[in-house]
Amino acid sequence: MKNFFAQKSFLEWLRNGLLLAAILTGSGLAIGRLWSPHMLPARAMTPSANESVEGISRVVTQLNEAFAEEWRKQGLQPAAPAPMLAVARRLSLALTGTVPSVQEIRSLEAQPEGEQLQWWISRLLPDRRYSDYFAERFARAFVGVEDGPFIVYRRRRLVDWMSDALSANRPYDQMVRDLIDAKGVWTTHPEVNFVTATVVPEKGPDKAKLAARVSRAFLGVRIDCVECHDGKLGSTWKQRDFHQLASFFGQTENSLGGVQDNPKLQYEYRFLKKKETETVPAVVPWDPELMPQDGAARERLAKWVTAPGNRPFARAIVNRVWALMFNKPLVTPVDSIPLEGPFPPALEILANDFTAHGSDLRRLIRVIATTQVFQLDSRPANPDPAATAETDAHWASFPMTRLRSDQVAGSVVQASSLTTLDAETHIIYRLKRLIDTGGFLKRYGDSGEDEFGSQSGTIPQRLLMMNGEVVQGHVQPNPVFNASARIATLAPDDASAVETAYLAVFSRRPTPEETAYFTGKLQGTADQRGEAMADLYWTLMNSTEFSWNH
């Protein structure tokens, strides 16, 4: 028996060793091509008619002219165009939560100069990293980040359901209708988790919380501020407006058969200064003419929320997608857009286009990425600090913002790999990425639902970047997982090593001064070359440039 276990242990060791060798061999072949400036390009998606350059040129021109007119009125000179790699980094951070890999940068640079931006967008949008990342961002707005009620809530299933819908480019209005009118069991009908996330034990779904989610997440209106009394904080909304919206969920219950509507139930509430509860009718707070007359309450509400004539619906998603791409919304806060305006011209132009083209999220993303304002440099044309506030307020330069915690975590992990960590990556690397990212976020801190509020770095965050296990583990000379060791081993010379490290971490090439300085540090390292490259990686990851979007 002892010999049997010894033999089994040896066979497992041999199997694991062969697997590791195969991974290293395959990776070595791929990485060997990374030193060539003309690596074969990755396969890209062919844009639909909605997303083609010809299809979006009119609305992009409208947006460019609207911003140009605003700059003229304010007497502002827009910043110069940003380098292509800076734009590529912004897009990668916005759509996947990570910096581009060196493999992706080589492929991008192999494209004709005038086609690089559209090629890059077309590569990212069909990537599962995009749908997974946006699904998580949407989930934070729709159901928050809490685990929710035990047993009846499966947040992960809801995120996966949204990711599948985004991957298929399902129209956004259809997704929202399914969420509002969801029925069934939370495991087999994942969209139901939008409702069960609010379940209170022995009471069922929280109608007020569902109304608040609908108004904020899908309509960009904070009508829930009057849940308890009229006109809170100067609001023109009345308490009755909010509870009439909540009444659409008055018949919603959760039972052994899952979420269903029970026609026998009614929504009742005791208003402020009233002695008794009263039955509250289901009435929408604006544009009642858009409300269908037939159907159950939630079905009618879902159709009203997503009706083409319901302008707040399009404005809300445009403002949120803009915020995800710039780390800053057009209207702040992202879920509080005045019902009657005034509205930034860009918000109205994009909302019109979004509605006219069937709530196509991919088209919306492509339009925003193709505009002049998204491609401006972050360095304003006027270097006077006094002019910075005006420049930022009118989008005359790309806003410099601190990366969200998820973007920092994703970038640390991706920058330590020369090849792209995506759905096609070996399972070992994907599992390690998942574990490392989760561990980093627990210590770094998660902004939760408030992803676009002003964020400042903390001392614990700086200490985590300098001394934390995840960063240290990703810069140490480990040839199996870390780019620093592979660069040290495979780079043909010191200048190539420094350039590749800069591309991996910053998505740009070093300046001549930076090249001269770091090649000087690498010269003569010989047996300590791996440690020297690890030091370079640590230095770059702990710089301000790495943790900011610009």
Neighbours of 511 (CB within 10 A): 10
Q: Do 477 and 533 meet the contact criterion of CB atoms below 8 Å apart? A: yes
Q: Do 398 and 79 meet the contact criterion of CB atoms below 8 Å apart? A: yes
For residue range 413-429, list pLDDT tens digits in order: 899 999 998 888 777 77
Cα 380 from Cα 395, distance rounded (Å): 10
% of the chain with per-residue pLDDT over 70: 86
Q: Output the pLDDT for position 436.
A: 74
Region 27-31: what's the mean pLDDT?
48
Region 370-384: what's the mean pLDDT?
92
For residue range 251-284, list pLDDT tens digits in order: 999 988 899 999 999 988 888 778 888 899 999 9
Residue 200's DSSP bridge partners are 204
pLDDT band at 236 (very low <50, low <70, confident <90, very high): confident
Range in 31-35, 212-216, 223-227 the model is least confident about = 31-35
- With a cut of 60, say whether residue 27 has pLDDT above it: no
In three-state secondary structure terms, 401 is strand
- With a cut of 60, say whether residue 41 has pLDDT above it: no
In three-state secondary structure terms, 312 is helix
Q: Output the pLDDT for position 229.
A: 65
- With a cut of 60, say whether residue 462 has pLDDT above it: yes
- With a cut of 50, say whether residue 347 has pLDDT above it: yes
Cα 185 from Cα 336, distance rounded (Å): 32
Q: Output the pLDDT for position 6.
A: 46
Q: Do 403 and 441 meet the contact criterion of CB atoms below 8 Å apart? A: no
227 to 143, 241, 244, 304: CA distances (angstroms): 19, 9, 10, 21
Region 188-199: what's the mean pLDDT?
96
Mean pLDDT of the chain: 86
- In order of their start, the domains of the chain are 129-305 (no CATH), 401-549 (1.10.3130)
- With a cut of 60, say whether residue 511 has pLDDT above it: yes
pLDDT band at 524 (very low <50, low <70, confident <90, very high): confident
Compare 533 and 44 and report the one with higher pLDDT: 533
CB-count exposure of residue 392 (10 Å: 0-12, 13-18, 19+) = middle
Region 387-398: what's the mean pLDDT?
88
Q: Output the pLDDT for position 48.
A: 65
- With a cut of 50, say whether residue 549 has pLDDT above it: yes
- Contacts of residue 230, defined as CB under 8 A and 6 or more positions apart, other chains included, come to 237, 238, 239, 272
Bridge-based pairing state of the strands 258-261 and 252-255: antiparallel
Region 322-336: what's the mean pLDDT?
95
pLDDT band at 458 (very low <50, low <70, confident <90, very high): confident
For residue range 110-120, list pLDDT tens digits in order: 999 999 999 99
Compare 471 and 328 and report the one with higher pLDDT: 328
Range in 30-39, 114-123, 443-452 the model is least confident about = 30-39
% of the chain with per-residue pLDDT over 90: 61
Region 345-371: what's the mean pLDDT?
98
138 phi, psi to nearest 5 deg: -65, -40
Q: Output the pLDDT for position 36.
A: 53
- With a cut of 50, say whether residue 285 has pLDDT above it: yes
Q: Tokens representing 125?
A: 């949008």
Per-residue 3-state assignment (H helix, E strand, C coil) for 458-504: CHHHHHHHHHCHHHHHHHCCCCCCCHHHHHHHHCCCHHHHHHHHHHH
pTM: 0.90
Highest mean pLDDT among 372-381, 404-413, 475-484: 372-381
Region class of 73: left (phi > 0), else alpha (psi between -120 and 50), else beta? alpha
